[in-house]
Every structure is written in structure tokens, then in C-alpha cells.
A and B are shown apart, each in its own frame.
Chain A
């Protein structure tokens, strides 16, 4: 059986345009109605898009660096999802103008009166902040460009050397993305409370990123393959591997999140605990408890049994749920700084709808131009023949 390229139905793209339009409308209305609140939501949106796109890119690099074969037939789905990475700049631009209402440390009078904050100014200042964000996004996009360019070239030339180039590239990419994500998470989420610090925060966001990228990839792979757009030899063993990886990273996230909580709780230092205290008061308690349920217990129980990892319907459902849980996690990380009590209404919905729409549009654009399976990859045949 050979792979035959099929056009994605036009309805998929239309759904993308519909969601983007709806999301954009909501975002604009919200920005007019309550700019401060929408700026906070903008951060959630930026980090949400960032984790899906960068997470998918990490999966691509992970496959090269580890020499994995099972994920080779599925790699294009990750690549296409990662194509929405440059859109992060689009989401970051409005924030550069609303930074004053979001970031405490941008107010010079507050900073000069505060010893701790003035000591942090060499790092937390607006030009360096904007430079870091743009630099990291462009750097990661540069890697994305190189990875996908080599991968697409291989479709035609079938040149095995390109795989080796990408392996070397991914070895460079890994530390870059680790540092990049750490900096992004510290800048955009930890500096919302500039007095607070947690050295595990970077890896917390990295684990969430991996999970988001993987969940998006899983949803894409399963739904496309069930509809017959991918290679017919992709089977439940591939699904099982995706599910098992999601299960593993869900546990990894729980491990990291609990480590962060346990150390702060145990040491009981006022300069650290206030961050958790503000997520325990004014109704946030239920969101925090809900996070444990939504982010860990439900995905854990849902992915525990073997059939749940091989059944396409269940796998699709749980990967969508994990994406929702990721959004919920970001909401929990960002919003308590905005409001002492829990707030949730249509303001919060604008960005996720917009981002999902944008990712779908980017995906369909890529799928129109390129093959959904890397037909030139030397590992493809082994990947298709993959059995557990």
C-alpha cells in the first residue's frame, strides 16, 4: 500500500476561518470592554499557542535526536501544527502595548520604591523583555524553518543525509528550546508576580508544553488517519505509543507540579507561599483543586487502561480534554494576579477560540502544499512496520 496525497475537505478550512473570525471578534470586543482583563487573557493565549506550536516542534526534534522510528509516519502532523509558531509574535504585539496594565515591574515609581524589584531591573526591563521574547520566537522559528525545509526537500530527493543534518540540528535545538521556554515562562507568567520565584517554574511550563504539543498531534493524527488522509498502515500500535507518551508526560507534569508545591509548602517562606495563598483564596481554592482533578486525575484514569490508548474515539476525546486542561492550567497560573476572586466569562473564551482557528488554518494551508506523510524519510518504512 502506498501513500496517496488527498486534499483535506474545504469544510476543515472553513471551520478554521469561522473560529478565527469568531475569536477575533470576541477578542476585539473584550479589548474594548476591559483592556486590562483582556491583556491577561492575551498572555494565556500567547502561552497556549506557544505550548502547542513549540511542543509539536519539540516532538519533531525528539524523534530525530532519539532515532525513533514509530513516530516518523506521524511527524508531518507535528510539523504542520508547529507551523503556527510565528503567530506568537502576532499575539505578543498587543501585549507590548498593554504591558503597563499587566506587569507590575514596568512602573518605574513602584520599582524605585522597592528594593527587591530595583535589584531585578537588569533583567526585568522593557527593552530586554521585548528583545528576549522576539529573539526566542525568531530563534525557534529559525529551527522550525530548517527542520521542515530539510524534511520537505527529502520528499523529493530522498536524500538520507538530510536526516543526519536534522539529527545534528536537533541536538543544538534541545538546549535552545529548554532555555527558551524557561525564559518565556519566567518572563510572561512568573514576572506577573515579580517578587515571587520558583526555580522549577521553567520545567513546569516545559512539561505542559510537551503535553500540549503531544495532545494536539495525537488529535490530528487520530482524526486524520481515521478519515484516511494519512498512510493506511498507521495502526493502533502507533496510537498506543502516542497515548502512552501522553500518559507518561501527564505523570511528569504532576510530578513537577507537586514538587513545586511540596517544597514551597514545606519551607513555608512568606516570600514564596503568597503565590499559592492567592490561589487558595476568594474561590480560587476550587480552581486549584479542580486543576488536580482536570490536569492529572482525569487524564491519568482515562489513559490508564490499554484499550483507552488504542481506541481512536477515546484517544481523540482524551487529547482534546488534555488541551482543555492545559488551557485551564494557564488560566490558573495567570488569572489570580488579575483578580482576587474567580472570574470567568466570554472574555476568557476569545483567545482559545482564535488560536484553535488559527492553528486549523495554518494546518490546512500546510496540508494543501505538502505531503501529510514524509514519503522520502529513510525511517518511514520501519515506522510503518512498527509493532509493539
Chain B
């Protein structure tokens, strides 16, 4: 790289107090275009350099308040208008619940926003090249030294005079910094893009390997892998190769009564009658089970107005003369064995539950066909 044009002259100092003094002296000497580089923020430097307070704080405040307003209003809109959900019986607009998230978003947005604004405005993005990069001066001030850097565009600049001045205020390792020949480096350099892609691939692979392979390596497998037959598995001990065995032919489970009229509608109608009393408790139980298992298709009142929006064919009404004239046994038979599209509900409903549902259906039917005699006599 050919270096001809002088960018600046830099000098190093040892302590924060020295650098603060040096900055004050530089201001006193009349230099305007100069900068101070320190390994960490030295408070009071802006005063010593006479540059006033940075406006970054106000930008941060603005971004933070915007973030707070955004988070709060977004949650307000989501939970009041877009997707109102009742949580714990609270009103939709439950602002105390919004506060933690508002706080987090405020902090996050002001932090990210500050860095972004700093890079964009103060570092003049996408400019990523500066004359003091790759100099001995920069190496020192980013480690443990403090540096003053008087830039050549200052009207009072004169290399020899500036060097003498910096030596006079106690500067060490005074160095002339030249402008690099290449002023800007292309941000979207091919190698840089390739590097980004490589990083993406490596990160994804490492994440995949960690989450899917590494975390599933178990230190001990003594108890999780046992020599036993697990459900649904193969086993060579039996000639048919099944690990699970069938119960002995004709086994009946405890408390289970087999349905004796399987496939025999007529004898079911003839032989079955409701064993439960027509009482308030039974009807209440019937209503509970009806609402759970029957109402999705038949509707809460048995009108056949399915809640499933036509995903299944709607069943006929339970108020038709046909169903009203059916015996209890016939309805029971339909519940146990199903009819047309309706599947069997024998697995979901116990014997007593089926009979109480039938009582409840009778109540529903009666409610739609009230007679004059039902009215109280005046």
C-alpha cells in the first residue's frame, strides 16, 4: 500500500488523568479536529475535549420510549381486538400483565437501537475503513494506553509543530499516520459473503449435532434398556412372533357385561327396558353425558343442528315421530352398535350412562311436544 497523504499525528499517554490533561491542553492550543482514543470510556472526556454531550442519549431515550409504546400498544391490540382470550377471569385489557414485556422490549430496543444508530450515523456505515486502523497507535490504545490524535484537516495542522506540541505535553511514541491508498473496502466482498455462508453452515451443523445427537447420548443406559418384552414389539418365543398375547378365548373382563343383542335389532327392541328410575339425578347425569358425547352432532337440544359446521353429515332430528315412538331398547341398541354414519359409543359410555342419556333424550323430546295438560291448572 502506498502511503503519501498524512491523516493525523498520534501520541500515547499512560493514565486516564494524563489523557484528560492532554485533551485539555490540545483544546487550549487551539486544535479543533482531534480525537482521543481510550481502551474504555473515560468520564469527563467530552468536557475536557470541549465537544459537549453526545446526543446519543436522547436517541436512546427516543428509541426506548418508542419500543415501550410499541410493546404496550401491540399487546393491547392483540389482547383486546385481534385475539381476545379470557385468562384467569381477568379483563382483556389487563395492563399489569403487559408491564414485564413492555420493560423487556424497552431495554432490548434501546440497546439494539443505540448500537445500530451509532454504527449508522456516527461510524458512517457502510464505511468500514479508517486511517488509524492497523497502526501501532491503534494497537496500543485498544490495549492499555490512551492516545491523542490530531487530524490533518485541522486548520492549524503542521506535522512538525504538532509533533513538538505533543512531545511538549508529555506524549510518547508519537507517530504520523498516513491515509491508506485504498479508501473503502467493499462490504459485500465475495470472500466476506462466502465467510458468512460458511459461518451459517457451521453454526447450523453444530446446532443440529448438539441438539439431535450429543444431547441424546446417555451416560448410563442400565435401566432404560432392559431385556424384556415391551408392548407392540416382536418376540421369537411364540410361533406367531407377537410379543403381546391374546387373552384366552371367551375371557370376560371384570365388571363388563357383554351386549347380548349384537346385530339383532328386533330382539333388542323387544327385550330391553330402561332399568334406571326417571329421577332428577339420573337426568342430570344423562344431560352431562349427552352434552359431552352426543351434542357435537345432534345439537344441545337434539335438533340435529351439528356444531361441526358440515364436517360430518348432520344427523336427523331426535324429535321425529319415528324416534319418539321408538322404545328405549331401540335407542340403546343404536348407542351400542351405531347406525349409518354414527359409530358405536359402547367404548365411551358405560351401561348406566347410556340409560341415563336415554332418559334425557325423552326429556328433550317432551320439551318440544308439550301438551296443554302440562300447564298448571288455574
Q: Quick check: is A157 within 8 A (CB to CB) of the other chain?
A: no
Q: Quick check: is A261 within 8 A (CB to CB) of the other chain?
A: yes
Q: Which chain B residues (40-77) contact chain A, with CB distance < 8 Å?
A: 42-44, 53, 57, 61
Task: Determine whether the beta carbon of B53 is less than 8 Å from that of A261.
Answer: no
- In the complex with contacts A306-B53, A387-B43, A262-B100 CB distance below 8 A: yes
Task: Determine whether the beta carbon of A268 is less than 8 Å from that of B89.
Answer: yes
For chain A, give the interface size range. 10 to 19
Which residues of A are found within 8 Å of B99, using beta-carbon distances? 258, 262
Task: Determine whether the beta carbon of A388 is less than 8 Å from that of B88.
Answer: no
A299-312 interface code vs B (CB 8 A; 1 in, 0 out):
00000111000000
Task: Determine whether the beta carbon of A388 is less than 8 Å from that of B44.
Answer: yes
Q: Quick check: is B97 within 8 A (CB to CB) of the other chain?
A: yes
Task: Determine whether the beta carbon of A387 is less than 8 Å from that of B88.
Answer: no
Residue of B nearest to A305 (CB): B57
Q: Quick check: is B142 within 8 A (CB to CB) of the other chain?
A: no
Which residues of B are found within 8 Å of A305, using beta-carbon distances? 57
CA distance A134 to B61 in the complex (A): 48
Task: Determine whether the beta carbon of B53 is less than 8 Å from that of A387.
Answer: no
Q: Quick check: is A346 within 8 A (CB to CB) of the other chain?
A: no
Which residues of A are found within 8 Å of B89, using beta-carbon distances? 268
B324-346 interface code vs A (CB 8 A; 1 in, 0 out):
00000000000000000000000
CA distance A265 to B20 in the complex (A): 52
Q: Quick check: is B17 within 8 A (CB to CB) of the other chain?
A: yes
Q: Which chain B residues (11-47) contact chain A, with CB distance < 8 Å?
A: 16-17, 20, 42-44
Q: Quick check: is B155 within 8 A (CB to CB) of the other chain?
A: no
CA distance A52 to B61 in the complex (A): 32
Q: Quick check: is B376 within 8 A (CB to CB) of the other chain?
A: no
Task: Determine whether the beta carbon of B17 is less than 8 Å from that of A266.
Answer: no
Measured CB to CB, the closest approach of chain A to B102, in angstroms, equals 11
Task: Determine whether the beta carbon of A387 is less than 8 Å from that of B97.
Answer: no
Which residues of B are found within 8 Å of A237, using beta-carbon distances? 43-44
Q: Quick check: is B255 within 8 A (CB to CB) of the other chain?
A: no
CA distance A258 to B96 in the complex (A): 9
Residue of B nearest to A258 (CB): B99
A-B interface contact total, Cβ < 8 Å:
30
B76-114 interface code vs A (CB 8 A; 1 in, 0 out):
000000000000111000001101100000000000000
Which of B43, B53, B100 touches A388 (beta carbons < 8 Å)? Answer: B43
Q: Which chain A residues (256-286) contact chain B, with CB distance < 8 Å?
A: 258, 261-262, 265-266, 268
The residue in B20, B43, B53, B89 that gathers the most chain A C-beta atoms within 10 A of its C-beta is B43
Which residues of B are found within 8 Å of A306, using beta-carbon distances? 53, 57
Residue of B nearest to A267 (CB): B88
B121-159 interface code vs A (CB 8 A; 1 in, 0 out):
000000000000000000000000000000000000000
B232-263 interface code vs A (CB 8 A; 1 in, 0 out):
00000000000000000000000000000000
Residue of A nearest to B53 (CB): A306
Task: Determine whether the beta carbon of B43 is less than 8 Å from that of A266.
Answer: no
Task: Determine whether the beta carbon of A265 is less than 8 Å from that of B96.
Answer: yes
Which of A240, A261, A262, A266 touches B88 (beta carbons < 8 Å)? Answer: A266
- Interface residue SS majority, chain B: helix
Which residues of A are found within 8 Å of B44, using beta-carbon distances? 237, 387-388
Measured CB to CB, the closest approach of chain A to B105, in angstroms, equals 16
Measured CB to CB, the closest approach of chain B to A216, in angstroms, equals 26
Task: Determine whether the beta carbon of B16 is less than 8 Å from that of A262.
Answer: no
Which residues of B are found within 8 Å of A268, using beta-carbon distances? 88-90
Which residues of B are found within 8 Å of A265, using beta-carbon distances? 96
Task: Determine whether the beta carbon of A266 is less than 8 Å from that of B97.
Answer: yes
Measured CB to CB, the closest approach of chain A to B86, in angstroms, equals 13
CA distance A306 to B99 in the complex (A): 26
Measured CB to CB, the closest approach of chain A to B131, in angstroms, equals 30
Which residues of A are found within 8 Å of B53, using beta-carbon distances? 306
Measured CB to CB, the closest approach of chain A to B45, in angstroms, equals 10
CA distance A237 to B88 in the complex (A): 50
Which residues of A are found within 8 Å of B96, using beta-carbon distances? 258, 261-262, 265-266
CA distance A258 to B100 in the complex (A): 9
Which residues of A are found within 8 Å of B17, using beta-carbon distances? 387
Residue of A nearest to B87 (CB): A266
CA distance A268 to B88 in the complex (A): 8
Which residues of B are found within 8 Å of A388, using beta-carbon distances? 42-44
CA distance A266 to B100 in the complex (A): 13
CA distance A244 to B3 in the complex (A): 47
CA distance A268 to B94 in the complex (A): 13
Which residues of A are found within 8 Å of B43, using beta-carbon distances? 237, 240, 387-388
Task: Determine whether the beta carbon of A387 is less than 8 Å from that of B16.
Answer: yes
Measured CB to CB, the closest approach of chain A to B14, in angstroms, equals 15
CA distance A388 to B90 in the complex (A): 48
Which residues of A are found within 8 Å of B20, using beta-carbon distances? 387
The residue in B53, B89, B96, B100 that gathers the most chain A C-beta atoms within 10 A of its C-beta is B96
CA distance A262 to B96 in the complex (A): 6
CA distance A262 to B94 in the complex (A): 11
Which residues of B are found within 8 Å of A262, using beta-carbon distances? 96-97, 99-100
Which residues of B are found within 8 Å of A304, using beta-carbon distances? 61
CA distance A167 to B343 in the complex (A): 80
B181-225 interface code vs A (CB 8 A; 1 in, 0 out):
000000000000000000000000000000000000000000000
Measured CB to CB, the closest approach of chain B to A253, in angstroms, equals 15
CA distance A261 to B57 in the complex (A): 31
CA distance A388 to B99 in the complex (A): 33
Measured CB to CB, the closest approach of chain B to A280, in angstroms, equals 13
A366-387 interface code vs B (CB 8 A; 1 in, 0 out):
0000000000000000000001
CA distance A204 to B90 in the complex (A): 26
CA distance A306 to B88 in the complex (A): 43
A327-364 interface code vs B (CB 8 A; 1 in, 0 out):
00000000000000000000000000000000000000
Residue of B nearest to A235 (CB): B44
CA distance A388 to B100 in the complex (A): 32
Measured CB to CB, the closest approach of chain A to B71, in angstroms, equals 16
CA distance A387 to B99 in the complex (A): 37
CA distance A266 to B43 in the complex (A): 43
Measured CB to CB, the closest approach of chain A to B316, in angstroms, equals 46
CA distance A388 to B16 in the complex (A): 10
CA distance A304 to B61 in the complex (A): 10
CA distance A340 to B38 in the complex (A): 60
Which residues of B are found within 8 Å of A240, using beta-carbon distances? 43
Q: Beyond A261-B96, A387-B17, A388-B43: 18 further Cβ-contacts under 8 Å?
A: A237-B43, A240-B43, A258-B96, A262-B96, A262-B97, A262-B100, A265-B96, A266-B96, A266-B97, A268-B89, A268-B90, A304-B61, A306-B53, A387-B20, A387-B42, A387-B44, A388-B42, A388-B44
- 5 inter-chain pairs at a CB distance below 8 angstroms, sorted by A residue, are A265-B96, A268-B88, A268-B90, A387-B16, A388-B42
Give 7 nearest A-B pairs by CB, closest first.
A388-B43, A265-B96, A262-B96, A268-B88, A387-B16, A258-B99, A388-B44
